[in-house]
Structure 1
Amino acid sequence: MSEASVQIELLSELSDANAAELELLLGQLSTAAFDRSRIAAMLGHDGIELFVARDGRRIVGMATLVTVPLPTGWRGHVEDVVVDATMRGRGVARLLLERLTSLASERGLRTLDLTSRPSRESALRLYEAVGFVRRDTNVLRFTPQPTDGTSSH
């Protein structure tokens, strides 16, 4: 694969083939269960865009761009960046991130953030190479517990 053979596109349709490929990618990223209805909801949400990297017809990477208007300006966040294990080290993640940073600039976003564990040293080097800057901050997370034994999301 050369970078020229990989195309970055905005996913607009969740075909059976797309769903199967996204499920494989998500399994390499997280222990979160794949939920086709959640992906479909994302594709229909105005503030969320799912970009995929295709090598030919096969999806080999993905990244989510979330944009929101806040009192301090339009802000963006990159989520769920993953490249298939067989394609890592070939520039796929760089192409995805370059597309998202380019869109952030074109749209006049005030900031574009992403988070990554400190142990992911090669990913951090890539993020810095495409223009992200480490910040002296703490990421805090609250995980709500369902009150009725079910989850709505």
Structure 2
Amino acid sequence: MKIYEVKSITDTLLKAINILIPQLTSSSILLTKKELEDIITSENTVLFIAEEKEIILGTLTLVLNKIPTGSKAWIEDVVVDEAARGKGVGKKITQFAVDYALNKGITKIDLTSSPERIAANNLYQKLGFKKRKTNVYRLHR
């Protein structure tokens, strides 16, 4: 399995992303090529892909933030294809993103995961993430 940062978009990549994201949330909408380009060309966003034998197995987005209290990273939209779950893809892609952030000097890495995603929550804890005592709020208009 190889994991890499996406630098350019292909139709195959766009199709794979649009198959994976609905497996994460049913409220998602399909990305256009332009929207995916905006993600990979952003200075603050890094899109990683896990691939084996030219089949895309999973994706993860790392968001980098410089704020007054220091640089931080957020891991977002981690999704592994249903057919590839339980094979270490999530672990490898998450560790790859953590290593990427650490190599950039970022030592505060956050993520959120729904409580019903038991396997994902167990994985993050095994990788050293600690549950924080904080409230997460969202304004959705």
Q: Same fold (TM over 0.5)?
A: yes
Q: Match of 2:17?
A: 22
Q: Match of 1:34?
A: 30
Q: CA deviation at 1:120?
A: 1.4
Alignment of 1:3-152 (within 5 A): 6-30=1-25, 31-36=27-32, 37-143=34-140, 145=141
Segments of structure 2 that go 5 or more residues without pairing to the other structure are none
For residue 34 of structure 1, give the secondary structure of its aligned residue in structure 2: coil
Q: TM-score, normalised by structure 2?
A: 0.95
CA contact under 8 A between 1:14 and 1:40: conserved in structure 2?
Answer: yes
Partners of 2:107 and 2:56 in 1: how far apart?
30
CA contact under 8 A between 2:4 and 2:49: conserved in structure 1?
Answer: yes
Q: CA deviation at 1:103?
A: 1.6
Write out per-residue CA displacement over residues 23-45 of structure 1, whole angstroms, 9 at most, x where no aligned residue: 10012112210122211100110
Opposite residue 33 of structure 1, the aligned amino acid is I
For residue 118 of structure 1, give the secondary structure of its aligned residue in structure 2: coil
Superposition misfits of 4+ residues, deviation over 4 angstroms = none
- Structure whose alpha-carbon radius of gyration is higher: 1
CA contact under 8 A between 1:73 and 1:110: conserved in structure 2?
Answer: no
Partners of 2:115 and 2:97 in 1: how far apart?
22
Segments of structure 1 that go 5 or more residues without pairing to the other structure are 1-5, 146-153
Q: CA deviation at 1:121?
A: 1.5
Give the number of aligned pairs: 139
Partners of 1:63 and 1:101 in 2: how far apart?
11
For residue 116 of structure 2, give the secondary structure of its aligned residue in structure 1: coil
